[in-house]
Structure 1
Amino acid sequence: MEHRNSFLLSFLLLLLPLLLNSASAQLKQNFYQNICPNVENYVRSAVEKKFNETFVTAPGTLRLFFHDCFVRGCDASVLLASSGNNAEKDSPLDQSLAGDGFDTVIKAKAAVDNDSKCKNKVSCADILALAARDVIVLTGGPSYTVELGRLDGRVSTNTSVHSNIPLPTFNLDKLISMFTAHGLSQTDLVALSGAHTIGSAHCARFAKRINGFSRTSSVDPTLNSTYAQQLQQECPKNVDPRVAINMDPNTPRIFDNTYYKNLQQGMGLFTSDQVLFTDSRTTKLVNLFASNVTAFQQAFITAITNLGRVGVKTGSQGEIRRDCSAVN
């Protein structure tokens, strides 16, 4: 029986890449060329307008894309609302997602549908993927061609979130395991983590690292001592749970490689950030990305393209929603 189970597991692991590849095979560049040729311009204009209203648009939209793809695949299921408050967005892990990210997609969808030729012909999942690329560019990050052709999913449950979203407390083994389960490599993991170069995080997400870390130390020893003191001042005990601080204390509004330079100095905000440098398996990648911004950008483009292929819906598995927050 043990041999049989081992064989079955090996078979499934071999089958996983084939399933991922077959699902993502429908994705292609210029998918809407003959359907809605101006789709990228419509989305970009809406995203730029929203970004000019509030910077939170950028990290909010990017994080929304990650959370969507990691739970049920890139199918816009994170956008679905539920009268019973049991959709993905109602999960405690998703309740911190910025409303500006959702609003960005809604406004981009409206801009696309304003063209009668495009109305109800572009999926919310594709609009989210395009918007994620656009906010990266708006914050100084690399541009890239987004593969399109996703369908929107019809299922969204809050119970599916916790087991699929990486937590700030994860060590490298847990991170690698979760990324591997989504068909993503170790390099993808380190590159995608670089998105923490913009945006903010609530104090509760890292409170234990600066207050009551262990019996022998109140502060996580992998934290830079000066940085730890700064965090303690910004996030004292019993702080208002709504308080959030920049994830990158140096260039929080620029999509650059400073995140990796911070890790080298013991200034990774989450355990899941700092472990990328302290664990020898990924130290070299952190050092490479810290010293070579082009290497980081190229790896990030590859990684987010791979992320965008996760769990793509085909045929009867999905639809093109008329309203991004509800199934048709």
Structure 2
Amino acid sequence: MAASAVRRIKLGSQGLEVSAQGLGCMGMSPFSGPPKSEPDMIALIHHAVDSGVTFLDTSDIYGPHTNEILLGKALKGGVRQKVELATKFGISFTGGKAEIRGDPAYVRTACEASLKRLDVDCIDLYYQHRVDTRVPIEVTIGELKKLIEEGKIKYIGLSEASASTIRRAHAVHPITAVQLEWSLWTRDVEAEIVPTCRELGIGIVAYSPLGRGFFSVGSKLAESFSEDDFRRSIPRFQPENLAHNAKLFDQVNEIAQRKGCTPSQLALAWVHHQGDDVCPIPGTTKTENFNQNIGALSVKLTPEEMAELESIASADNVKGGRYASSMPTWENSDTPPLSSWKAA
């Protein structure tokens, strides 16, 4: 697909414009599976940008740290000016244990460290990766607002925040995007989070739009997990749930065959059809998969096809949670009231 064929969309109401499909870069670093070739990953990023996919997503926790360093290398030689760069803060690993942090000192330290690893002067979209349930969201956003005023970041994003947290954050400074898990097998966000974003004019960035790879090959995916692949711990991939969930893939695959596309293209197209304020960010480490993913932009779905997909992909038709109970997700989290905060 030519670069000009990848349409552009606006995220939020502050002026951020991105490619209608982004590229999730997490898998390019040792986080889910064995190490990847750095030159190959940089070549893939360059191929994505040349293809018109310019919205790149990373985080300080991916690696940890090595994914931002990889992106920094890939952005050399004039590439930085062509992309919309998103990274995240909020998950700190100390002594092998994850801690969620949103206190002002940590926000600032994390941002400075990401700028250094990425080797850039400014981050386009800076997300709070997970919400600190001990720190009022107003306090965290207040520090991010200062970073905007200092020219270190351009736009603020949230990930896995509740509707009330999103509202409170947006009242301090406009939130440009909320990143959430949204796919044919994760649709709980449609009840409250998505409507809240739309009411406030906040863009929506859908991560894991392919069900962490499930909609590429179905249940066979679990056979390819390496020993250190974190997906091994996800309940949906456990044998007792996977056999049931495989039926969902089979039904999606059947519709895809009728449409003349792949199941992953169909699953991605379904996310694209949610609206012009939604940008899915499928991740991959293979050029052929990337090319297939942008092919989803050409798949048109009728209202009848959308309804058919949604009927087979209803919330009660998927077995297993989207994270292991031991993982520190703080899904759709609330924070304490501002009145409770006593600055150190």
TM-score by length of 1: 0.29
Which structure has the highest strand share of the two? 2
TM-score by length of 2: 0.28
Q: Which has the higher contact order (CA 8 A, sep 6+)?
A: 1
